[in-house]
């Protein structure tokens, strides 16, 4: 991410992850690792990651693929427990001849998931954000900032001050006693750019996602629209029929077609390969444009298989 101009770099949303340290309670955890290719008929471009993080098993998860110096968020296609108790999370990714992608898996407590956003950019230098989260281990978290131009998340590093920072340095200062997070002045350290939508729109989107009214896939689409046009999330979802499909009768026909179109995965599941059902769930989600309730899809699949 380069800065060839004398204005704030186009950075927008600010997230952080807390690491589990010495068995302390954790709001969030993350791991970086190389994904494994899933070799199975009809699953080209599918990869998986295996994690022993406790929160990955019981909490909300987000998956990112590293691209250059940033991370691109990807949609989770399946999540299941391995025999050893670890969790296996799968996703689809086009490598274009590259090696297996390097991933970052972030896992959150369900109650903390909607609080992971520290703030949104204001478009000026020397921005400040408060971190009023009880019991947060301020010395042990990862801060990532979403670039508005390319949609990637870039890790920022902690510094004591901005004196030695250049305009290209992605850095922040943390004042623990004051619970303050500080960014640079665009000459010494980057600064988040101004957002184009109201905080009320963002709050409505979080409520829709947390209530299950929309899936994570749809939430990303709606986020892009309110960012560009400051539209009303509820109205946008209603007008385009993007609400989560939880009607069993409506989903059953789609699931039956997915079963018909994927005989090998059906045979694998019936032969004892439990993870094959994750692929069928993913195919159903694709067929419904990401709107189906994944839990209900899995339930119908198990009934039909």
pLDDT digits (tens, 9 = 90+) for 71-102: 888 888 888 888 888 999 988 887 766 678 89
What is the rounded CA–CA span in Å between residue 295 and residue 244?
Answer: 11
Q: What are phi and psi of 184, to 5 degrees?
A: -75, -175
**One domain for residues 99 and 124:** no
| pLDDT for 10 beyond 80 | no
235 inside domain: yes
Question: At 184, is the pLDDT very low, low, confident or very high (cuts 50, 70, 90)?
Answer: very high
| pLDDT for 152 beyond 50 | yes
119 inside domain: yes
**One domain for residues 156 and 177:** yes
170 inside domain: yes
**One domain for residues 166 and 206:** no
Tell me which of 49, 78, 111 is where a domain ends: 111
Residue 105, domain extent: 28-111
257 inside domain: yes
What is the rounded CA–CA span in Å between residue 250 and residue 88?
Answer: 29
What is the rounded CA–CA span in Å between residue 208 and residue 91?
Answer: 24
Q: What angle do CA 164, 166, 170 make, to 5 degrees?
A: 100
**One domain for residues 90 and 152:** no
80 inside domain: yes
190 inside domain: no
Question: At 160, is the pLDDT very low, low, confident or very high (cuts 50, 70, 90)?
Answer: very high
**Looking at 8-12, 89-93, 131-135, 168-172, which range is the least confident one?**
8-12
What is the total count of domains within the chain? 4
71 inside domain: yes
What is the pTM for the complete model shown? 0.57
In this predicted structure, what is the pLDDT of residue 233? 85
189 inside domain: no
Please give the share of the chain, as a percent, with pLDDT higher than 90.
8
47: closest CA among 20, 21, 74?
A: 74
**One domain for residues 252 and 231:** no
In this predicted structure, what is the pLDDT of residue 18? 43
CATH number at residue 281: 1.10.10.410
pLDDT higher at 195 or 91: 91
């Amino acid at each position: 991410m380069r800065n060839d101009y004398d204005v704030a770099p186009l950075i927008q949303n600010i997230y952080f992850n807390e690491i589990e340290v010495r068995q302390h309670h954790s709001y969030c955890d993350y791991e970086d690792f190389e994904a494994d290719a899933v070799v199975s008929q009809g699953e080209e471009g599918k990869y998986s990651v295996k994690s022993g993080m406790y929160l990955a098993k019981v909490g909300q998860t987000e998956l990112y693929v590293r691209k250059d110096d940033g991370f691109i968020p990807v949609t989770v296609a399946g999540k299941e427990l391995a025999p050893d108790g670890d969790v296996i999370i799968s996703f689809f990714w086009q490598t274009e001849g590259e090696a297996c992608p390097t991933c970052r898996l972030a896992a959150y407590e369900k109650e903390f998931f909607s609080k992971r956003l520290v703030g949104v950019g204001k478009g000026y230098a020397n921005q400040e954000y408060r971190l009023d989260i009880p019991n947060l281990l301020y010395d042990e978290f990862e801060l990532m900032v979403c670039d508005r131009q390319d949609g990637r998340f870039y890790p920022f590093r902690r510094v004591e001050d901005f004196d030695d920072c250049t305009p290209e340095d992605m850095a922040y200062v943390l004042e623990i006693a004051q619970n303050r997070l500080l960014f640079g002045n665009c000459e010494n350290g980057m600064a988040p750019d101004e957002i184009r939508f109201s905080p009320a729109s963002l709050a409505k989107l979080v409520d829709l996602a947390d209530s299950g009214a929309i899936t994570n896939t749809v939430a990303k689409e709606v986020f892009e629209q309110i960012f560009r046009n400051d539209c009303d999330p509820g109205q946008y979802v209603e007008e385009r029929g993007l609400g989560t499909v939880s009607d069993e009768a409506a989903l059953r026909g789609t699931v039956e077609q997915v079963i018909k179109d994927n005989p090998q995965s059906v045979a694998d599941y019936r032969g004892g390969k439990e993870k094959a059902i994750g692929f069928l769930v993913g195919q159903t989600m694709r067929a419904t444009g990401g709107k189906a309730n994944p839990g209900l899809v899995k339930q119908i699949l198990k009934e039909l298989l």
